[in-house]
Structure 1
């Protein structure tokens, strides 16, 4: 009888540990950062409709080969650029990810290439302002 009780307790502890590990994974940094919801969160890369990180944002958690079917989002309230296409319509950006992001002036990592290191935010240069069409969290060339 003692062995059966011990086995049940160990099984209960193992089950609880497994459940806690699952909860830990679900709440790990970046687990909720899915992008494309109008909220630029940690571990995301954001493209803004206006200069100075103003207006609506298009937030990415992963690469995007073309912005042709993407639009600027708003989480709540109003912002300029809502519903406008992201393709060739970005004036500024903010890299809240932990690594460098690459942007390109054409779809599929073609055209001029620019790099934005972790934490960088700024207004796009003349080469990239309203010309960005794809982006990747790695060098796509």
Structure 2
């Protein structure tokens, strides 16, 4: 089994249409990047054990450069750059796994975060994550 990140134009276009529809559906839709980790989002935390500020990504999203993203809210780490400041994760998606990378543009060492995973970053990834992408399993 191989794991790859998904960057498909047709799928991206379909997801953008779906996202536009969901954005008008009401508060149950996970907006992402608002500092509140909702069901269906991936949360990257400033501190270990899901402590401190959180950077939340909506399901089926990716970010090739976390240097231009900041932790939000008032908890420890708020206002700090997300790149190289990650200590723990919570993947609150039910069916979407993610890959984190130590380099920008999905480069460097990668790590797999399955749907539903809660935990601390390993020493190889603690404070070294620079990009994140949706993963899918290739048979």
Determine which of 80, 86, 100 is the counterpart of 1:103: 100
- Structure 2 length normalisation: TM-score? 0.75
Residue 137 (structure 1) aligns with: 134
Question: Quick one: higher RCO (CA 8 Å, sep 6+), 1 or 2?
Answer: 2
Structure 1 alignment gaps of length 5 or more:
1-21
- Structure 1 length normalisation: TM-score? 0.74
Residue 39 (structure 1) aligns with: 36
Secondary structure at the counterpart of residue 99 of structure 2: strand
Segments of 4+ moved more than 3 angstroms: none
Deviation at 1:27, TM superposition (A): 4.3
Q: Any residues of structure 2 matched to 1:1-141 within 5 Å, and which?
A: 26-27=25-26, 32-61=29-58, 62-74=61-73, 78-98=74-94, 99-138=96-135
Report the structure number with the largest CA radius of gyration.
1
Judged with a 3 Å threshold, the aligned counterparts in structure 2 of structure 1 residues 28 and 84 are, in CA distance, closer, same or farther, namely closer
1:12-45 CA-to-partner distances (Å, cap 9, x unmatched) read xxxxxxxxxx89x71496xx21211010001100
Deviation at 1:114, TM superposition (A): 0.3
State the aligned residue count.
Answer: 112
CA distance in 1, matches of 2:52, 2:25: 31
CA distance in 1, matches of 2:51, 2:134: 22
CA distance in 2, matches of 1:28, 1:131: 33
CA distance in 1, matches of 2:63, 2:41: 12
1:74-103 CA-to-partner distances (Å, cap 9, x unmatched) read 1xxx31001000001101010001211110
Secondary structure at the counterpart of residue 135 of structure 2: coil
More helix by share: 1
CA distance in 2, matches of 1:117, 1:65: 19
> CA-atom RMSD, angstroms?
1.9
